[in-house]
Amino acid sequence: MRRLGFRLNRRAVTPAQSVADSIDPVRLIYRFRARTATGIAIRVIRAGSGKTVRRFVSASRRPGRWHRQVWNGLTGRGRPVAAGRYRVAVGPRGGPLRTLGYLTLHGYTFPVDGPHGVRGAVGSFGAARLGGRTHEGFDVTAACGSPLVAVRSGRIVKVAYDDRYLGNHVVLKGAGERRTYLYAHLLRPAPVRPGQEVRAGRRLGSVGQTGNAAGTPCHLHIEVRSRGRLLDPWPFLSAADW
Protein backbone atom coordinates (compact mmCIF):
# COMPACT_ATOMS: atom_id res chain seq x y z
CA MET A 1 0.00 0.00 0.00
CA ARG A 2 2.83 2.35 0.86
CA ARG A 3 4.73 1.32 -2.26
CA LEU A 4 1.74 2.28 -4.41
CA GLY A 5 0.96 5.32 -2.32
CA PHE A 6 -2.65 4.10 -2.26
CA ARG A 7 -5.01 6.13 -0.10
CA LEU A 8 -8.77 5.87 -0.03
CA ASN A 9 -9.93 9.44 0.44
CA ARG A 10 -13.66 9.44 -0.46
CA ARG A 11 -16.14 6.63 -0.07
CA ALA A 12 -19.85 5.78 0.08
CA VAL A 13 -22.13 2.75 0.14
CA THR A 14 -25.67 3.59 -0.95
CA PRO A 15 -28.40 2.80 -0.14
CA ALA A 16 -27.43 1.74 3.37
CA GLN A 17 -30.40 -0.66 3.46
CA SER A 18 -31.54 -2.79 0.56
CA VAL A 19 -32.87 -6.17 -0.60
CA ALA A 20 -31.00 -8.64 -2.77
CA ASP A 21 -31.72 -8.38 -6.51
CA SER A 22 -33.59 -5.11 -6.11
CA ILE A 23 -34.59 -2.56 -8.73
CA ASP A 24 -32.35 -0.19 -6.70
CA PRO A 25 -29.01 -2.05 -6.43
CA VAL A 26 -26.25 -1.14 -3.99
CA ARG A 27 -23.67 1.30 -5.34
CA LEU A 28 -20.12 1.18 -4.01
CA ILE A 29 -18.54 4.57 -4.70
CA TYR A 30 -14.93 5.52 -4.03
CA ARG A 31 -12.06 7.79 -4.96
CA PHE A 32 -8.41 7.12 -4.15
CA ARG A 33 -4.95 8.57 -4.36
CA ALA A 34 -2.03 6.61 -5.76
CA ARG A 35 1.20 7.20 -7.66
CA THR A 36 -0.10 5.38 -10.71
CA ALA A 37 -3.17 3.67 -12.15
CA THR A 38 -4.03 0.73 -9.93
CA GLY A 39 -6.01 -2.49 -10.20
CA ILE A 40 -8.72 -2.52 -7.53
CA ALA A 41 -10.16 -5.35 -5.45
CA ILE A 42 -13.49 -5.10 -3.60
CA ARG A 43 -14.89 -7.59 -1.12
CA VAL A 44 -18.33 -7.75 0.46
CA ILE A 45 -17.89 -9.43 3.85
CA ARG A 46 -20.54 -10.76 6.24
CA ALA A 47 -20.11 -8.81 9.47
CA GLY A 48 -19.30 -11.04 12.42
CA SER A 49 -18.37 -14.15 10.45
CA GLY A 50 -15.78 -12.49 8.21
CA LYS A 51 -16.99 -14.57 5.27
CA THR A 52 -16.61 -12.97 1.84
CA VAL A 53 -19.85 -13.32 -0.12
CA ARG A 54 -18.86 -11.36 -3.24
CA ARG A 55 -15.59 -10.31 -4.87
CA PHE A 56 -14.93 -7.78 -7.60
CA VAL A 57 -11.58 -7.27 -9.32
CA SER A 58 -11.18 -4.43 -11.77
CA ALA A 59 -8.57 -3.47 -14.31
CA SER A 60 -6.43 -0.40 -13.67
CA ARG A 61 -8.30 2.56 -12.27
CA ARG A 62 -6.97 6.07 -12.45
CA PRO A 63 -6.44 7.87 -9.14
CA GLY A 64 -8.25 11.12 -8.36
CA ARG A 65 -11.43 10.09 -10.14
CA TRP A 66 -14.73 8.79 -8.84
CA HIS A 67 -15.27 5.08 -9.44
CA ARG A 68 -18.39 3.02 -8.94
CA GLN A 69 -19.17 -0.66 -8.60
CA VAL A 70 -22.80 -1.80 -8.65
CA TRP A 71 -23.77 -4.86 -6.59
CA ASN A 72 -27.14 -6.57 -6.85
CA GLY A 73 -26.92 -8.44 -3.56
CA LEU A 74 -26.19 -11.77 -5.25
CA THR A 75 -23.26 -14.14 -4.85
CA GLY A 76 -20.95 -14.86 -7.76
CA ARG A 77 -23.22 -17.81 -8.57
CA GLY A 78 -26.28 -15.58 -8.80
CA ARG A 79 -27.91 -16.53 -5.50
CA PRO A 80 -29.33 -13.96 -3.05
CA VAL A 81 -27.05 -13.51 -0.05
CA ALA A 82 -28.49 -13.99 3.42
CA ALA A 83 -30.11 -11.07 5.21
CA GLY A 84 -27.74 -9.33 7.59
CA ARG A 85 -25.09 -6.65 7.98
CA TYR A 86 -22.15 -6.48 5.59
CA ARG A 87 -18.83 -4.66 5.46
CA VAL A 88 -17.43 -3.55 2.11
CA ALA A 89 -13.65 -3.34 1.77
CA VAL A 90 -11.60 -1.94 -1.11
CA GLY A 91 -7.91 -1.67 -1.95
CA PRO A 92 -5.23 -2.43 -4.53
CA ARG A 93 -5.17 -5.93 -5.99
CA GLY A 94 -2.89 -8.08 -3.87
CA GLY A 95 -2.65 -5.40 -1.18
CA PRO A 96 -4.46 -4.69 2.08
CA LEU A 97 -8.07 -3.57 1.93
CA ARG A 98 -9.70 -0.69 3.77
CA THR A 99 -13.32 -0.39 4.84
CA LEU A 100 -15.45 1.37 2.27
CA GLY A 101 -18.63 1.25 4.35
CA TYR A 102 -21.41 -0.91 5.75
CA LEU A 103 -24.86 -1.91 4.57
CA THR A 104 -27.79 -3.98 5.78
CA LEU A 105 -29.48 -6.40 3.42
CA HIS A 106 -33.03 -7.44 4.28
CA GLY A 107 -34.71 -10.59 3.09
CA TYR A 108 -37.81 -8.73 1.93
CA THR A 109 -39.25 -5.30 1.32
CA PHE A 110 -42.77 -4.25 2.29
CA PRO A 111 -45.43 -4.90 -0.38
CA VAL A 112 -47.06 -1.45 -0.11
CA ASP A 113 -44.74 1.36 -1.20
CA GLY A 114 -46.28 4.21 0.78
CA PRO A 115 -48.14 5.05 4.01
CA HIS A 116 -50.08 2.05 5.27
CA GLY A 117 -51.91 0.56 8.22
CA VAL A 118 -53.89 -2.55 9.14
CA ARG A 119 -57.62 -3.37 9.29
CA GLY A 120 -57.44 -4.75 12.81
CA ALA A 121 -59.00 -8.03 13.91
CA VAL A 122 -61.27 -8.31 10.85
CA GLY A 123 -58.24 -8.27 8.55
CA SER A 124 -56.03 -10.63 10.54
CA PHE A 125 -55.09 -14.14 9.52
CA GLY A 126 -57.70 -16.72 10.54
CA ALA A 127 -60.49 -14.18 11.20
CA ALA A 128 -63.99 -15.61 10.75
CA ARG A 129 -65.78 -15.09 7.43
CA LEU A 130 -69.32 -15.81 6.22
CA GLY A 131 -70.14 -19.38 5.37
CA GLY A 132 -67.75 -20.83 7.92
CA ARG A 133 -64.68 -19.67 6.06
CA THR A 134 -61.64 -18.09 7.68
CA HIS A 135 -59.46 -15.28 6.40
CA GLU A 136 -56.52 -16.84 4.58
CA GLY A 137 -54.35 -13.74 4.44
CA PHE A 138 -53.72 -10.40 6.09
CA ASP A 139 -55.14 -6.99 5.11
CA VAL A 140 -52.87 -3.96 4.80
CA THR A 141 -54.76 -0.68 4.40
CA ALA A 142 -53.50 2.14 2.19
CA ALA A 143 -54.88 4.85 -0.07
CA CYS A 144 -56.45 3.53 -3.26
CA GLY A 145 -53.84 3.63 -6.01
CA SER A 146 -50.86 3.20 -3.66
CA PRO A 147 -48.09 1.23 -5.40
CA LEU A 148 -47.73 -2.47 -4.72
CA VAL A 149 -44.24 -3.91 -5.19
CA ALA A 150 -42.55 -7.31 -5.26
CA VAL A 151 -41.43 -8.22 -1.75
CA ARG A 152 -38.53 -10.22 -3.19
CA SER A 153 -37.13 -11.04 -6.58
CA GLY A 154 -38.78 -14.02 -8.19
CA ARG A 155 -41.12 -15.23 -10.88
CA ILE A 156 -44.74 -14.33 -11.56
CA VAL A 157 -46.79 -17.53 -11.53
CA LYS A 158 -50.33 -16.15 -11.90
CA VAL A 159 -52.19 -13.04 -13.02
CA ALA A 160 -55.97 -13.35 -12.89
CA TYR A 161 -59.35 -11.90 -11.92
CA ASP A 162 -61.90 -13.46 -9.55
CA ASP A 163 -65.13 -11.54 -9.07
CA ARG A 164 -66.20 -13.65 -6.08
CA TYR A 165 -63.29 -13.10 -3.68
CA LEU A 166 -59.88 -11.90 -4.85
CA GLY A 167 -60.68 -9.46 -7.67
CA ASN A 168 -57.57 -8.57 -9.63
CA HIS A 169 -54.73 -10.60 -8.18
CA VAL A 170 -51.17 -11.69 -8.85
CA VAL A 171 -48.98 -14.43 -7.39
CA LEU A 172 -45.20 -14.18 -7.01
CA LYS A 173 -42.86 -17.09 -6.24
CA GLY A 174 -39.83 -15.85 -4.31
CA ALA A 175 -36.36 -16.57 -5.70
CA GLY A 176 -34.30 -19.11 -3.77
CA GLU A 177 -37.22 -20.22 -1.58
CA ARG A 178 -40.42 -22.25 -1.71
CA ARG A 179 -42.76 -19.43 -0.82
CA THR A 180 -45.46 -17.74 -2.86
CA TYR A 181 -47.07 -14.35 -2.24
CA LEU A 182 -50.59 -13.58 -3.44
CA TYR A 183 -51.62 -9.92 -3.79
CA ALA A 184 -55.41 -9.42 -4.08
CA HIS A 185 -58.01 -6.67 -4.67
CA LEU A 186 -55.71 -4.75 -7.05
CA LEU A 187 -57.21 -1.64 -8.59
CA ARG A 188 -56.43 -2.88 -12.11
CA PRO A 189 -54.86 -6.02 -13.62
CA ALA A 190 -51.22 -6.44 -12.63
CA PRO A 191 -48.77 -5.00 -15.20
CA VAL A 192 -46.81 -8.28 -15.39
CA ARG A 193 -47.34 -11.65 -17.03
CA PRO A 194 -47.02 -15.28 -15.88
CA GLY A 195 -43.45 -16.55 -16.22
CA GLN A 196 -41.95 -13.07 -15.99
CA GLU A 197 -38.91 -12.65 -13.74
CA VAL A 198 -39.08 -9.57 -11.52
CA ARG A 199 -36.73 -7.88 -9.08
CA ALA A 200 -37.55 -6.88 -5.53
CA GLY A 201 -39.37 -3.53 -5.56
CA ARG A 202 -40.79 -4.05 -9.06
CA ARG A 203 -44.29 -2.59 -9.29
CA LEU A 204 -46.97 -5.27 -9.38
CA GLY A 205 -50.03 -3.04 -9.32
CA SER A 206 -52.00 -0.66 -7.10
CA VAL A 207 -54.08 -0.98 -3.95
CA GLY A 208 -57.77 -1.27 -4.77
CA GLN A 209 -61.15 -2.75 -3.80
CA THR A 210 -61.90 -5.30 -6.50
CA GLY A 211 -63.55 -8.67 -5.85
CA ASN A 212 -65.32 -8.93 -2.51
CA ALA A 213 -63.48 -5.86 -1.16
CA ALA A 214 -66.07 -3.45 -2.57
CA GLY A 215 -67.39 -1.33 0.28
CA THR A 216 -64.35 -1.95 2.50
CA PRO A 217 -61.42 0.43 3.01
CA CYS A 218 -58.89 0.22 0.18
CA HIS A 219 -56.46 -2.51 1.13
CA LEU A 220 -54.06 -5.19 0.01
CA HIS A 221 -55.05 -8.73 0.91
CA ILE A 222 -51.80 -10.72 0.95
CA GLU A 223 -51.44 -14.47 1.37
CA VAL A 224 -48.17 -16.27 2.04
CA ARG A 225 -47.72 -19.97 1.36
CA SER A 226 -44.78 -22.28 1.92
CA ARG A 227 -44.90 -25.45 -0.18
CA GLY A 228 -48.62 -24.81 -0.55
CA ARG A 229 -49.27 -24.43 3.19
CA LEU A 230 -50.81 -21.16 4.34
CA LEU A 231 -48.73 -19.07 6.75
CA ASP A 232 -49.75 -16.14 8.90
CA PRO A 233 -48.36 -13.15 6.94
CA TRP A 234 -48.10 -10.85 9.96
CA PRO A 235 -44.61 -11.95 11.23
CA PHE A 236 -43.30 -11.64 7.68
CA LEU A 237 -44.91 -8.23 7.12
CA SER A 238 -43.71 -6.77 10.40
CA ALA A 239 -40.12 -7.86 9.67
CA ALA A 240 -40.28 -6.46 6.13
CA ASP A 241 -41.55 -3.04 7.26
CA TRP A 242 -38.11 -1.50 7.70
| CA separation for the pair 32, 98 (Å, rounded) | 11
- Consecutive H or E run containing 237: helix 233-240
Triad 62, 90, 99: Cα angle to 5° = 130
Separation CA 71–CA 154 (nearest Å): 18
Could you tell me what percentage of the chain is helix, strand and coil, using 3-state DSSP and rounding each to the nearest 5? 5, 50, 45
Name 221's bridge partners.
139, 184
pLDDT of residue 50: 93
Task: Tell me what pLDDT residue 1 has.
Answer: 42
Q: Give the chain's mean pLDDT.
A: 95
Q: Quick: pLDDT tens for 139-159.
A: 999 999 999 999 999 999 999
Reduced to 3 states, what is the DSSP secondary structure of residue 163? coil
| Inter-residue contact 157 to 198 (CB < 8 Å) | no
**Global pTM value:** 0.90
* Structural domains of the chain, with CATH: 7-106 (2.60.40.10), 117-240 (2.70.70.10)
